[in-house]
Amino acid sequence: MTDLVTFGETMLRFSPPGNERLETTTELEVRAAGAESNVAVAAARLGAEAVWISKLPDSPLGRRVTSELESYGLETDVVRSDEGRQGTYYLEFAGEPRGTNVIYDRADAAVTTASAEELPAERIRSAEWFYTSGITPALSETLRETTETLLWSARDSGTKTAFDLNYRSKLWSPEEARETLTNLFEHVDVLVTAVRDAREILGLSGDPESIGRELVDEHDFETVIVTLGSEGALAIHDGRTIEQSAFETETHDPIGTGDAFVGGYLARRIRGADVEEALEVGAATAALKRTIPGDIAVITPEEVERVIREGGEGISR
């Protein structure tokens, strides 16, 4: 049995070196980047048997995605298509007041036409966990149907489901997101949401604990995890509130931090750990990710344990 299957789009990320502008740079760094594959890689690096499924163009760029993901130890199982393109995004880093900017170029990507019938859904039905995020149904009407079908099929087969709200304002409006995502909640066991998304998208108010408890009560989730940025995260599970502070970290690239957190959390839950321990591993994985360029947490179990034990300071000799 596979431990974890994830489904979603993975793009190619192009970014100039340093704080160079896109309009003046003569170089672009290329990396694979996608929420669901980010989660799967983090979990795989921590010992889970993880598989990422998707649909990609049968092209050099599509093959670039899978070759990079597989180099991190992740298994990929994708449908290759002669139609559609490889989605990309451009990332321009900068401090204030300019700010970091993301420019998507993902229209008509092959994944937007992926149906449940053509994907290896049997891998989801035989897995212990299935994960996807709110980014996926934001990409097309087809993917809204596919996401719901896969979540329903997973739950119907006894596979636990985890879902991250992952709202992206450049993909859809809060109103569109609320209508679509709340319709998926009946198929979700574990919900992850940033506190800001819970307020802006779901219209909830109050402190993070109140928000988490309201979500559990209204939708009967097994677990709700509310992430709080630099303040850490909390979980509502089995009637209890479990808090986890963030580990100190020197940030070099924050993109993918939330995905690393989820990947670390799921990897430890897969191993049978309780929610407290899994949150701690998630927080340590997230802290490590912020030191690593790119979207992906290329980490080891030993590094995660060292962060938990020592805070991750010092030089490894």
For the chain, what's the residue count?
317
46 φ, ψ to 5°? -100, 15
* Of 3, 164, 253, 259, catalytic: 259
Q: What is the dihedral of CA 77, 81, 85, 86, to 10 degrees?
A: 20
Largest CA distance in the chain: 55
Q: What is the identity of the amino acid at 285? A: T
**Is there a catalytic annotation at residue 259?**
yes
Where do the H-state alpha helices sit in 27-113? Answer: 35-45, 60-71
Q: Which DSSP category does 55 fall into?
A: E
**How far apart (Å, rounded) are the C-alpha atoms in residues 264 and 292?**
15
Alpha helices in the chain (DSSP H): 35-45, 60-71, 121-125, 141-156, 174-184, 195-200, 208-219, 257-270, 275-289, 301-310
Q: Contact, 297 vs 289, CB < 8 A?
A: yes
Active site residues: 259
